[in-house]
Homo-oligomer: A and B are copies of this chain.
Amino acid sequence: MKLTTKGRYAVTAMLDLALHGDQGPVSLAEISTRQEISLSYLEQLFSKLRKNDLVTSTRGPGGGYSVSRELSLVAVSDIISAVNESVDATQCAGRENCHSHGRCLTHDLWEGLSVQIEEFLSSVSLQDMIDKQRVQNVSVVRESMLVQVRHA
């Protein structure tokens, strides 16, 4: 899981789509002006989003893109991994040349954290974000996670 501005753009665009898509498809031009992302860049991103079945396209006048599934079924991690197409080639993972046990241990620790991040982003859907309109009470969530992590 890689987290860069590219993923941010994709998530922002998908949120725009989710918010404005209740009356038919939304054109990239609209998203471009609203979110201040260049049209051509959006085309690149939506090409990947379409290939990953996150959006469907409608051609012609009045056309545009629509979210292909229920908003609650589109996770943030889906969007990010769609545009990042991460092969996740961890150079050491499960290779036989990993004889030094110390190295594997450190790698495992990091991998474990990566899984947690992945799982976290999988647990947040577009619907979740819209329902709340704004993330509240973060400290409560934090404390809860802290406990979970400590006792896991």
**Which residues of A come within 8 Å of B, CB atoms?**
1-4, 8, 11-12, 15-16, 19-20, 34-36, 76, 91-92, 100, 102-103, 105-110, 112-113, 115-117, 119-124, 128-142, 144-146, 148-150, 152
Contacts of A149 in B (CB 8 A): 123-124, 128, 141
Q: Let me know if B140 and A19 touch, CB within 8 A.
A: no
| Additional A-B contact list (5), CB under 8 Å, known A145-B145, A145-B148 | A8-B110, A112-B134, A115-B135, A117-B117, A138-B152
Top 10 closest A-B pairs, CB basis?
A112-B135, A3-B3, A123-B146, A119-B142, A141-B148, A15-B106, A109-B129, A123-B145, A137-B152, A34-B103
